A and B are shown apart, each in its own frame.
Chain A
Amino acid sequence: MKLIDLIERWYLNLARRPFWILAGHFARRMFSSDQPGEMSMGLGVVLGMLAAPGAFSSLFMLDKYSTLLQYFRGQTHFDPIRASAADEYFFVVLSMTITALIVVLRWNRLFPDRRDFSNLAVLPLPIYHIFFANLVALLGLAVVFAIDVNCVSSVFFPLFVNMDQDTAAAFIHFAVPHVVTVLLASLFSFFAIFALVGTLMLVLPRKLFRVLSLYLRILLVIGTLVTFFSNLFIQMLTGHVPGSASSYLPSMWFLGFFETWLGITRPGMAVLGERAIHALIASLIVSVLAYALSYHRHFLRLAEESGALPSSNRTLRFSIPRWASRLVFPTEPEMGIAAFALKTLFRSEQHLLFFGGYLGLGLVLVAEFAMTSRADSPVASVPPADILAIPLLITLFVVTGLRFVTDIPATLEANWVFQASLDQRLASPAGSMRKLMLLLAVPWQVLLCGPLTARFYGWTTALLHTAFTLTVTLLLVNLLLVRFHKIPFTCSRVLETRQLFVRLLACLSAVIMLVPALAGLEQWALLRPPRFGIVALLLGAVAFGIRHYRNGLPHQDRLLLFEDRPPAQFEWLKLA
């Protein structure tokens, strides 16, 4: 009892010290939103969400390792330890991916910024406290995330693998290497990206870093997703882990570490295991050094800068010749809305990250279609359905991504400018959006897919294929904009979970059913081009249906929306 009291007193004393208060503040700041419309979750919710993928994945493995099911399947020679290598690889990749995504998404919060400077530097704290408190918060969070992402799987996975063993020693013999491996893999992922940020901050001029930072993050998100899914596909397709060709992947190094510890001897894996440890130590050293140096370079010099927030001068400048933009957007309001939408999309971190991540998923699926395409075409001049599906799939992800992302509000406080200056009778946000979507979807179809198809399958096929894809694109765009009556990025309506779920389900069904069906239809028509008459009739009917639905909308549904924030459905009671 006395010991508990002592520990409690020690903890309370510690929690009262400014340094630990500051460290706690930095940890909290990492997961808080800046804008009222931005999604903000408590640390508890975040930790719960992060633990979920590992938990579900390990539960699904019961099917593979259940001795009873093996008995029913007639699997008499099953070595669970050897069979676990592929699953261990999955957990390594999963923990690395989740950790990497967290760091990339909270990139801006890794280092103390101007806001921290203006709030904390005037307080009676030694300036090195701010430095160390943030470092401690980061290291603490890295450890907490590593544990959280892997906590459930660290129990269930070893338990399932050792189902046929009834001793605790067997469980521990497997569980300890597994836990250590996945934790180290998570930590490596964290520190590797942190080291990259710190080094770039150090090496690049400040302005260049600010400009590049956003685009680098998008590349990292896409790269992480592609790596994750490609690893997953490799695993699913081959049934076991990738071979020596992929020994340059950090995830393979950690698998090597695991196997070496467990005593599974495969050629080259011990070397990979050593590489994992070296890489982890190197990433830790580089990240701490880069943090210290870039802290000195950036944070301590904030006072010498003007009062503007750092993000204010991070802009991507692009200009289109006036005649060209006038050709596409003939009226001033149309032009204004399109310019606003384009600039928001390419300059807003939140929107670009969402759009980039969504396109990344699309690219993974495209790669999958390309890799697994079967030569199912009876005629050489007609491409396989999987190849025909590729432009449709890219188009689907581009236009739905763009449509979804416009529902995430940008700075709502700036909406007054549209309300005050836009003539509702002249403005046609759906028209501007339609043109924007087509601008992002059509040029590459005509300039890239057309010539490529012509090169491999002849000009007739290329023309018919391009015409078909363009028509489907137009229909899809019209369908997505059927109830679009708002300035993009300005609506305060935050998507409900139910809506989000419906959209994801719709997109998934489109990928699984609609795109293959359309590609099949196109292939069927390409085999006998007069069949395109029937296809045209079908698509015409769809176009008519969309038009009919749009014209049938009540008048109030066609008015331009400028929603104010709806009242919260519930609020926390502050009973303290």
Chain B
Amino acid sequence: MADAAALRLPQEVRDAIDALRPRYPTEEALLLPALHLAQKHWDGWLPDEAIAAVAHELNLTPAKVYGVVTFYDLYHQNPIGRHRLRVCTNLPCALRGAEEVLASLKEHLAVDENEVTPDGKCSFVHFECLGACEQAPMMMVDNDYRGGLTPDSVRRIVEELD
């Protein structure tokens, strides 16, 4: 067992969690918000130490927290690029060419899904419907929605990221 101090969440994350406490009758209900906050702090993914620290903060076992982390698509247990691209390929987007967009993006980045480009800039995944089918084909660039994609525009969007 690592020493307790090392398991502590950074103060600003703990403050943010504390601010949410009055909203819920149980501590466990803070788990999803706490994981979102921790993931933000740890550059978009949840290393083991982050999971241990969240478990410690909420008096939950790490096993319980791992169980939750693995259930949801938005929590990541591996490093991601500075930018995370989620390309929707569900049916409404596919009907407007999402598979071609994904192929173009993959060729351009020259890595597989969930791998990080050698410069650390990007990683991508295909994703289920993102609730913006009127913009099909579309993707999420970090927290933003980008619609009306074409095989060319998706490359340009990547080029323009820092």
Q: Do A and B bind each other?
A: no
Chain B contacts to A: CB under 8 angstroms: none
